[in-house]
Chains A and B, each alone.
Chain A
Amino acid sequence: NAGVMQNPRHLVRRRGQEARLRCSPMKGHSHVYWYRQLPEEGLKFMVYLQKENIIDESGMPKERFSAEFPKEGPSILRIQQVVRGDSAAYFCASSPGARELFFGEGSRLTVL
């Protein structure tokens, strides 16, 4: 049973470009969470999704950021018109609905 798969692991974008980060949850998991980790900081909750639904996006910046978890395929975190402050590690976690989250290895975004 493969773990939570994230890709790309590393992504470099220039200011103004778009970044798309993908997350495939563990098999059987229908809950997906996205977190952002800035250098020397803990993880900050961004959004919680179930298949085809955004359940809680209270941690998402109001502009430029969006997330989806379609019926088929991975969850995607999309950042439009990236700025240097978006440089961070973005972690996805999945859950079967039980009490534990399983984290992927993260996608590290660098904005030049």
Chain B
Amino acid sequence: ELKVEQNPLFLSMQEGKNYTIYCNYSTTSDRLYWYRQDPGKSLESLFVLLSNGAVKQEGRLMASLDTKARLSTLHITAAVHDLSATYFCAVALGNSNSGYALNFGKGTSLLVTP
């Protein structure tokens, strides 16, 4: 069974600070996703990482993937209040019958304070 673990699960940080969210997964997969979810809302796709060493950046968020270590990171630079949300990483299940079904971590609830 593919397990996806995120840490921390809860994060409170001050505006302007930097921080990294970690996502470890237990078996080989060739696709890793980061999503953002606001309370009561759906999931917004942030990044899709497809290969070892992949790095993608959008605004204050940067995601990277190390397939050998089975680790992805989501780095937040100079946080602002608008980044407050829950962030999920998700890994493809790898079963050929599963299409692109994903296995999600429990999420990291981020609160950015003044």
Give the B-binding residues of A (Cβ under 8 A): 31, 33, 35, 40-45, 48, 55-56, 58-59, 91, 95, 97, 99-106
Contacts and interface: CB of A to CB of B under 8 A. Distances in A.
Interface of B: 4, 31, 33, 35, 41-43, 45, 48, 50, 88, 90, 93, 95, 97-107
Nearest to B99: A48
Contacts of B98: 45, 48, 55-56, 58
9 contacts: A43-B104, A45-B103, A48-B97, A48-B99, A59-B101, A95-B100, A97-B99, A104-B42, A105-B42
Nearest to B50: A99
Contacts of A95: 99-100
Contacts of A59: 101
Contact of A42 (B31, B97, B100, B104): B104
A43 B103 CA distance: 8
Q: Which of A43, A103, A105 has the most CB of B within 10 A?
A: A43
Given A91-B42, A99-B31, A106-B42, A44 B99 contact: no
A35 B42 CA distance: 12
Contacts of B103: 45
Contacts of A42: 4, 88, 90, 104-107
Nearest to A102: B45
B111 to A, nearest CB: 15
Contacts of B35: 103
Contacts of A41: 106-107
A102 B45 CA distance: 8
Contact of A33 (B4, B88, B101): B101
Given A99-B31, A100-B45, A102-B45, 12 more contacts: A35-B104, A41-B107, A42-B4, A44-B104, A55-B98, A56-B95, A56-B101, A58-B97, A97-B99, A99-B50, A100-B33, A103-B35
